[in-house]
Amino acid sequence: MNLLHLNFKIDKPRFREVAEAWRNNGRWYQWKQFDQVDKWWQTYPQQGEDPNINEVAEALNIQQFDNRPRFYWLETNNDIPIHYDEDHVTSIQINLMDQIPVIGIEGVGNVPYEAMAINNGDIRHWVDPVPYERLQMKFVMRETWQEVIEAIPNEYIQN
């Protein structure tokens, strides 16, 4: 399965502040597969625009890819239905909250994570509702799973 936990630590309070600085530039995610429900706020800084985001991309060695950084807020008690992401993308998802999030993976069940790489264009996944807001930093790449994984420094690959 193309899902890999990363041993990547991030200064969560600092990056919550970075995310908040971008929050007013965001919008509700426009569902293509489901009826529109305003519950998933996203903001899309341009790659290279924010030195804080660049720092994370460089640490993960993904700055050479079109990595499409973003921040996602999922409101309290809301879910994301089971789906594939568009375009067979691979992403790196980094939790910025104190609570450990869980992602549902078809055929596996609930998977807790702090940071992970996932080939979410080829793995059906979902998010169940929880009684707190979620916030993550995400990089979305259209390079192959193998290209992305080979770029990530070994020190961050969790066995």
Domains of the chain: residue spans and CATH: 3-28+39-141 (2.60.120.590)
Is residue 99 within 8 Å of residue 127, measured between CB atoms? Answer: no
Q: What is the pLDDT of residue 32?
A: 64
Residues of the chain with pLDDT under 70: 29-38, 159
Q: What is the β-pairing status of strands 102-105 and 125-127?
A: antiparallel
Q: What is the pLDDT of residue 156?
A: 97
Q: 76: which DSSP letter?
A: T
The radius of gyration computed from the CA coordinates of the chain, to the nearest angstrom, equals 15
Q: What is the pLDDT of residue 87?
A: 77
Beta-carbon contacts of 6 under 8 Å, excluding residues fewer than 6 positions away, are 60, 92, 114, 115, 116, 117, 152, 156, 157, 158
Residue 50 tokens read as 């924010």
Q: What is the pLDDT of residue 80?
A: 85
- The 3-state DSSP class for residue 59 equals helix
Q: What is the pLDDT of residue 35?
A: 66
